[in-house]
Chain A
């Protein structure tokens, strides 16, 4: 079979940042390729480059032998590429059928009425994706899975040679995942080339003929799912290498409960991001929640911090947090260091820290600042610099230091190691160790990097697709949960 999609030397820069570097991949007709990589690996950018939503700085993209790199997306689409975005918006005032018909229309200003066969074909496609029973309904009345089906329908409407699917199973329940897999598999039967992009290898492993792993914009390896997951670089990127141990203070037998999360669910529109999760954290404990990107860690933390609405109960030190604003919760002792850090880029390191200590009496804030600058010496050196001029690792330290200025009783860290070099991880690890040994702080850590998450933890939860699938002490993790983790 011919290569329906051939990408070589693809490079894309955003200002100084190289998002994709010298990327290459090929997909034949009747093949499904799974492109995986953690956040920031560039996989979404690769997809956008193929579709023409972004213009590559260098490289070639060939659709069935025809060069399309640099063309605008509507032309590439007409040459036979369909894409299913992760967040798609159908036209809400139009029915499902009309939404599908839109995908079948030619790019003409003069067409007032759709050609006769369009209606028929739209019905056909609806039947194919099993939306035929809801063709005349409005998208707003449909459940999430059907909306995803609609997106699939629009992408394949013109029978494209290549189909790109971004996070095919995000937000779907297990039976829906199986259904979708069959649907996507049927494209393969028809001889299309399919590219699936996802964080989660497990999800796409069953469906893909081949897996290709990316990291920091570059190709790492490709092959069968098992081969790829055995690859050292891949393991390091996902798991962080060998799992060691960090010094932990003596654990009391029974701890007072500090945080209790009960039956919490979060919906983003129709998609369920968190499904009835419960966890508890004791005073002085270090709890790690491990899970891949998209598993729901950030959603969980945002639910605790009241940054997103949720159902269920979140109790802190015995008191229900219901009704409190995010600001109140932060002042009340739960301080979060989000994945995105949320620093004040144009303000100095010192100013960022000062803002953290804003609510403290001046003398106390001053003392705390001194203590933190000792704990993170690199911040002392850079105290006068603008936060955005700091390196990734330094910014992460600043984020944590700033949070610590608030005298948190519970510190939530969301993926602190994302994109950081190993030597920085060591420093971070040491700082956390010192913190635990010198203060009675309680920590809730969310990480994909198991190597970092496990050594400090007293207990580990595993989060997958918005649900906890395992809980236990770190020493049992490797044997019980580790194997299935990826």
Chain B
């Protein structure tokens, strides 16, 4: 029984981790940025959904949509106010830009986290599920929302795949991750492309955040841990590889679920960290990384 429970729960959480991680790796692959404020976008989206569904009376669906919109908005603000100014700053030496962007996003993430705590307190909040109720899967009583989480996550992943592989815009995205300079030569404006990539990232992180909020609940305290999870997943899978992130998400999701069920939930992240250390020492580029 427990095994099935782990299977189901693990699947759901891995799926939504996957959505967030793909967004994280997308930003790295295309924009070259390791966004250390990733967790804050997810949590902001979740809290946004919670606030809009409840306090603002938008209802479950409206709230969820609103939450995702918050995610998009925050991602764009992060890019415009923090990342882009540092990347284009003439005051910072080219070799140091990466470190400054990392530190900048870290600080920004803290700012957002504290702002959320200040405005909404750090008490955990649960986003209103889109569909209430419980369903029986192989004898495991599972909230319908959990099924929905997995479904929506995979729908998002599927849509993304369609976007990248079947649309013109998607090809541009792929090209941007391979060779931005080539795109400039072909008449594309990179700033516009980056804008859209960050918006897409916000969408993905927003969806992941809202789903997480409805599934496990979130609090502003989770920001750091969510960024760390995304980071771990992406390093395991290989920085810049979407497939790798997906695989990594499932590894991490299941590891965490198994640990939570067998041991103390508070050390949920330890096996993942151990795995991470191993990966970094033995195969730093991750499972599918190319660099």
Contact = CB atoms under 8 A, between A and B. Distances in A.
In the complex they form, whether A and B have CB atoms below 8 Å apart is answered with yes
Interface of A: 305, 307, 325-328, 330-331, 335-336, 338, 342-347, 351, 354-356, 358-359, 402-403, 406
B160 interface: no
Contacts of B179: 342-345
Nearest to A405: B186
The 3 closest A-B pairs by CB, nearest first: A331-B187, A330-B187, A342-B182
Interface in B184-226: 184-190
Contacts of B185: 305, 326, 330, 335-336, 338, 342, 403
Contact of B187 (A338, A346, A351, A406): A406
12 contacts: A327-B187, A342-B181, A342-B182, A342-B185, A344-B174, A344-B182, A351-B171, A354-B168, A355-B183, A358-B172, A358-B187, A406-B187
A358 B185 CA distance: 12
Contacts of B175: 344, 347, 355
A359 B183 CA distance: 12
A347 B187 contact: no
Contacts of B190: 327
B56 interface: no
A374 B181 CA distance: 27
Given A305-B185, A330-B184, A355-B171, 4 more contacts: A327-B184, A327-B190, A347-B178, A355-B183
A326 B184 CA distance: 6
Contact of B186 (A325, A328, A351, A355): A355
The B interface, classified by DSSP as helix, strand, loop or mixed, is helix
Contacts, number: 60
B186 A356 contact: yes
Contacts of B168: 354, 358
A39 B132 CA distance: 67
A474 B223 CA distance: 68
Contacts of A347: 171, 174-175, 178
Contacts of A344: 174-175, 178-179, 182
Nearest to A357: B186
A325 B178 contact: no
B158 to A, nearest CB: 21
Nearest to B178: A344
Given A351-B171, A355-B171, A355-B172, A345 B186 contact: no
Contacts of A358: 168, 172, 186-188
B96 to A, nearest CB: 13
A327 to B, nearest CB: 4
A402 to B, nearest CB: 7
A345 B171 CA distance: 13
B188 A327 contact: yes
Count chain B CB atoms within 10 A of each CB in A328, A345, A347 and give the residue with the most.
A347
B250 to A, nearest CB: 24
A413 to B, nearest CB: 12
Nearest to B192: A327
Interface string B2-25: 000000000000000000000000
Contacts of A351: 171
A327 B182 contact: no
A338 B181 CA distance: 10
A92 B168 CA distance: 47
Interface string B253-279: 000000000000000000000000000
Contacts of B172: 355, 358
B171 A359 contact: no
A327 B189 contact: yes
A402 B189 contact: no
Contacts of A326: 184-185
Contacts of A346: 174, 178
B174 A406 contact: no
Nearest to B191: A325
Count chain B CB atoms within 10 A of each CB in A327, A356, A402 and give the residue with the most.
A327
Contact of A406 (B181, B184, B186, B189): B186
Nearest to A388: B178
Contacts of B184: 307, 326-327, 330
B178 A345 contact: yes
A343 B188 CA distance: 14
Nearest to A340: B181
Nearest to A330: B187
Nearest to B290: A346
Contacts of A330: 184-187
A165 B186 CA distance: 38
Contacts of B188: 327, 358
A305 B186 CA distance: 11
Count chain B CB atoms within 10 A of each CB in A346, A403, A406 and give the residue with the most.
A346
Interface in B155-176: 168, 171-172, 174-175
B182 A359 contact: no
A305 B184 CA distance: 10
